Structure 1
Amino acid sequence: MDIVTYEILRNGLYACAREMKIAMMRTAGSPIVHSGGDASAAVFDAEMQLVAQGNDIPTMLGSAVISTKASVEAIGRDRLRPGDVIVSNDAYLGGGNHQPDVQFTRPVFVDGQIIAFVMTRGHWTDIGGQAPGSYTAMTWDIFAEGVRIPPVLLYRDDKPVEDVMTLIVQNTRDPSVRLLDIQAQYAGCFVGDRRIAAMARKHGVDALRDAMARALDHSERLMREAIRQIPDGVYEAEDKVEPVAGPAGWPTAEIPIKVKITKSGDSIHFDYAGTGPQTRGGINCPFSVTCNSTWFTVKAITDVSIPINQGCYRPVSIDAPKGSLVNCSFPASVVAGNTETSPRLIDLLLRALAPAVPRRVVGQSNCGAFSGVFGGPDPDAERVRRTGRPFVGMIDPHAGGMGARPDKDGVNGIRVYVGNAGSTAVELIEQTSPLTVEEWSLVPDTGGAGEFRGGLTSRRVYRVEYDEATFTVCGERGIHPPLGQFGGEAGSTFRCEIRRADGSTVRVPAKSGHEIVHAGDQVLLQPAGSGGYGDPALRKRERILDDLRDGYVTVAGLGVPSAEAEALLREAGLG
């Protein structure tokens, strides 16, 4: 195949994945999908290898390497027909990452043979379970996290399997919105099917197959060369994960996480032996999540320009003890393993690899989705009449600090690592739910000091207008702050509190169950900050003055003597 045809086909595959996600976002019902972009799409070859993906949610796409194969094998390749769509969210039977992320998988047929598979995955605002939003970590087992959907056919011959669809949507709190999400994901798969089939008919099935194989091999070669640049050796690190805050008798011990990384030539091996056993509460990682965190880290410390597909992962091998926090066994609950424990693993890997690639790591980051979740009956009768939704759920992923870099400050107010969704727009929250956002701001002094300062976290304060609703938050770093690298200082920890209308205040742990809120209550949600990079004494004075002018730090946060503080304020034009 000539290089021009190959590049047309390769780029066409990536363009197809991007178009699939756009089709989903334009028609989805969940605001976290159509506004926040918490959705992904990808293309797989006929052997179910990931060959192209959008610039979407890393935790969805890495785990799809496992879940797509599991979905097809569960149904049986020989049973599939044109127009079929498999649905699954199950972490154990379907290789999923957590149950709110629902995957659709569709075979692409040309002339009677499967030439590819396309996949869409979206985060549904509710999937059932013990609390609205399906996002509480205080669960006894996976059954409390929502409806488990093993791989089953949801569309047959491009027609919905009505009984299965009814069973799924009626086990959620807002079935009409779930139906829109289903149709959106189906539309994304339909678009992908048509685009891939058109490419095959134009250039030939054999050419498309060869282009897919060549793309995988090309990314593998580039990744092996990038890994070769890392010094050979053994690198280790350990940390502790905070447990879920539960009732009396609930586990209270922190769970150790450990890794031993062996780099040799053009391959790299990760061994998580020594990591603690799986625990009560939804902070356990399915193996697919641990694989994704590991693959993400390797990609981040090597060459981000390498076209991302499954070829990138071939030089990486992973061992994780069965029944551990990083390879849990049924029926352990997993909802926050995907969003909170997973980024903690990435911070662990970056700390282990820092001596090998000091210019490719960052200070520790906020490490979590920090999603604030509200759910309850809508007291606005006019809005209920207009929308037909008597129950309103709202899930809002939050933005914390990203760790400082070797030559730059960290990023303020951002999702990091495997999460790539945006916070919900204030206007959308206030238009569609009984909430008012009274504050959305960056919080000074929450980024760790260093030659380069850690990124600041953000704070949101909601005023509740529900008559009665549940509030759930699932966060990370409520006890242990994000540390710096090479002398950089730690950032701030997680903070959440409910200020009751009667004047009392309730502090909410980072990982717990749900709280009941009422009209007039205020909810403050503030993710963790991030760590600095390098010795703070090396920070240039002009940068410190800029921090003061921008309100990123305060003189109290600088911790300098009063005379020096006054001098800094005068020099910054603030005295």
Structure 2
Amino acid sequence: MDIVTYEILRSSLYATAREMKLAMMRTAGSPIVHSGGDASAAVFDAEMQLVAQGNDIPTMLGSAVISTRASVEAIGRDRLRPGDVIVSNDVYLGGGNHQPDVQFTRPVFVDGAIVAFVMTRGHWSDIGGQLPGSYTTQTWDVFAEGIRIPPVLLYRDDRPVEDLMTIILQNTRDPAVRLLDVQSQYAGCVVGDRRIAAIARRHGPAALAEAMRRALDHSERLMREAIRAIPDGTYEAEDELEPVSGPPGWPTAPIPLRVKVTKAGESIHFDYAGTGAQTRGGINCPLSVTCNSTWFTVKAITDVTIPINQGCYRPVTIAAPEGSVVNCSFPAPVVAGNTETSPRIIDLLLKALAPAMPDRVVGQSNCGAFSGLFGGMDPDEARVAATGRRYVGVIDPHAGGMGARATKDGVNGVRVYVGNAGSTSVEIIEQTSPLTVEEWSLVPDTGGAGEWRGGLTSRRVYRVGYGEATFTACGERGIHPPLGQFGGAAGSTFVCEVRRGEAVTHVPAKGSHEIVHAGDVVLLQPAGAGGYGDPRRRDRARLLDDLKDGYVTPEALTRDYGLTPQDAAALCVEAADV
């Protein structure tokens, strides 16, 4: 195959994945999908190897390497026919990442043979379970986290399997909106099917298969070259994972996280031996999530321009003890392992690899989705009449700080690592729910001091308009702050409060829910991020800009950056003159 034809075919695969994602966002019912983009799409070859993906959600796409094969093998390849769609969200039977992320897998047939598979995955705003939003960590087992869907056929010959559809939808709190999400993911699969089939008919199935094979081999070759540049050696790190705040009798000790990284030549091995056993509460990671976190880290510290597909992961091997918090066994709950524990694994790996690649690592980051979830009945009769929905659930992922880098400050108010969906816009929240967002701001001094400053976190404050509702917070770094690199200071920890008049309830990062009523105020503030390098070496001009922008307070100049009171006062005068 000539290089021009190959590049046309390869680029067409990535374009197909992007178009599938857009089809989902334009038709989904959940704001977290159509506004926040918490959805992904990918193309797999006939042997279920990931060959192309969109610039979507890394935690969905890495785990799909495992879940797509599990879905097809569970149904049986020989049973599949055109127009079929497999649905699955089960971590244990389907290789998923957590139950709110639901995967659709569709075979692409040309001339009676499977030439590819296409996959869509979306975060459903509710999947049933113990609490509205399906996102509490205070769960005894996986059954409390929502309906488990093993790999089963949801569409047969492009027609929904109605009885199964009814069972799934009626086990969620807003079935009408869930139906829109189902149809959006089906639409994404149909778009992918049509595009891949058209490519195969134009160029031939053999040419398509050859382009897929070359794409995998090309990414593998580039990744091996990038890994070869890492100094050979063994690198180790350890950290502690914060436990779930549970009732009396629940574990209260931190869970150890440990890794040994062995780099030799063009391959790299990660061994998580010594990591603590799986624990009570939904912070455990299935193996698919730990693999994805590891693959993500390798990609991030090497060469981000390498086309992402399964070939990138071939030089990487992983060992994770079964029954541990990084490879949990049934029926351990997992909902926040995907969003809160997974970034902690990435920070652990960056800590281990910092001596080998100091210019590629960053200070520790906010490490979580920091979702605020509300669920209850809408008292606004006009909105109920307009939407036809009495029950209203809101899931709002938040933005914290990203760690500072070797040559740049961290990023303010951003989702990091494997969960890069956007926060829900204020306009959508206030238009569709009985909530008012009274504040959305960056919080000064929450980024760790350093020669390069850690990113600031953001704060959202809601005023409740529900007559009565549940509020659940799910976050990370409520106890252990995000540390800096090479002398950089730590960022701030997670803060969440419910204010009822003069009374203030402090909500832990990993705990139960609160009942809120009209007039209550909820503050949610994710963790900040660590700095990079000695704060005393920060450039004076950058400190001046920080003051002007409100990123640091005058008190931080002496406390965090080591300025004398006289120099700090002079800098404040200069900032005030602008």
Alignment TM class, shorter chain as reference: over 0.9
Separation of aligned partners in 1, 2:574 and 2:105? 60
Match of 1:120 in 2: 120
Match of 2:549 in 1: 550
Picking from 548, 570, 575, the partner of 1:572 is: 575
Separation of aligned partners in 2, 1:300 and 1:565? 37
Q: How does 1:166-565 map to 2 (within 5 A)?
A: 166-500=166-500, 502-558=501-557, 559=559, 560-565=563-568
Helix, strand or coil for the counterpart of 1:543? Answer: helix
Worse overlay, 549-558 or 104-113: 549-558
Helix, strand or coil for the counterpart of 1:208? Answer: helix
Q: How does 1:1-80 map to 2 (within 5 A)?
A: 1-80=1-80
Separation of aligned partners in 2, 1:154 and 1:174? 19
Letter in 1 for 2:379: P
Is the 8 Å Cα contact of residues 127 and 172 (structure 1) preserved in structure 2? yes
Helix, strand or coil for the counterpart of 1:513? Answer: strand
Letter in 2 for 1:241: L
Is the 8 Å Cα contact of residues 340 and 367 (structure 1) preserved in structure 2? yes
1:145 partnered with 2:148 = no
Separation of aligned partners in 1, 2:432 and 2:576? 43
Letter in 2 for 1:407: T
How many Å apart are 1:574 and its aligned residue?
A: 5.0
Separation of aligned partners in 2, 1:389 and 1:95? 33
How many Å apart are 1:134 and its aligned residue?
A: 0.1
In structure 2, list runs of 5 or more residues that go unmatched: none
Separation of aligned partners in 1, 2:478 and 2:574? 36
Corresponding residue pairs, total: 574
Separation of aligned partners in 2, 1:379 and 1:572? 48
Separation of aligned partners in 2, 1:506 and 1:574? 41
Helix, strand or coil for the counterpart of 2:461? Answer: strand
TM-score by length of 1: 0.99
Separation of aligned partners in 1, 2:443 and 2:275? 34
Separation of aligned partners in 2, 1:433 and 1:398? 17
Separation of aligned partners in 2, 1:228 and 1:255? 33
Helix, strand or coil for the counterpart of 1:572? Answer: helix
* CA offsets 1:352-373 (integer angstroms, 9 cap, x no match): 0000000000000000000000
How many Å apart are 1:14 and its aligned residue?
A: 0.1
In structure 1, list runs of 5 or more residues that go unmatched: none
How many Å apart are 1:492 and its aligned residue?
A: 0.3
How many Å apart are 1:7 and its aligned residue?
A: 0.3
TM-score by length of 2: 0.99
Separation of aligned partners in 2, 1:5 and 1:112? 25
Is the 8 Å Cα contact of residues 435 and 462 (structure 1) preserved in structure 2? yes
Is the 8 Å Cα contact of residues 51 and 310 (structure 1) preserved in structure 2? yes
Separation of aligned partners in 1, 2:545 and 2:383? 46
Separation of aligned partners in 2, 1:127 and 1:574? 54
Separation of aligned partners in 1, 2:121 and 2:195? 18
Separation of aligned partners in 2, 1:433 and 1:136? 21
Is the 8 Å Cα contact of residues 344 and 367 (structure 1) preserved in structure 2? yes
In percent, how many aligned pairs have the same letter?
Answer: 82
Separation of aligned partners in 2, 1:116 and 1:420? 27
Letter in 1 for 2:33: V
How many Å apart are 1:563 and its aligned residue?
A: 3.0
How many Å apart are 1:572 and its aligned residue?
A: 2.0
* CA offsets 1:500-543 (integer angstroms, 9 cap, x no match): 1x320000000011110000000000000000001111111111
Separation of aligned partners in 2, 1:44 and 1:565? 58
Match of 1:92 in 2: 92
Letter in 1 for 2:572: L
Is the 8 Å Cα contact of residues 59 and 338 (structure 1) preserved in structure 2? yes
Is the 8 Å Cα contact of residues 446 and 456 (structure 1) preserved in structure 2? yes
Is the 8 Å Cα contact of residues 549 and 574 (structure 1) preserved in structure 2? no
Letter in 2 for 1:137: T
Separation of aligned partners in 2, 1:381 and 1:93? 43
Separation of aligned partners in 1, 2:551 and 2:282? 34
* CA offsets 1:59-103 (integer angstroms, 9 cap, x no match): 000000000000000000000010000000000000000000000
Is the 8 Å Cα contact of residues 27 and 181 (structure 1) preserved in structure 2? yes
Letter in 1 for 2:522: V
Is the 8 Å Cα contact of residues 36 and 424 (structure 1) preserved in structure 2? yes
* CA offsets 1:185-236 (integer angstroms, 9 cap, x no match): 0000000000000000000000000000000000000000000000000000
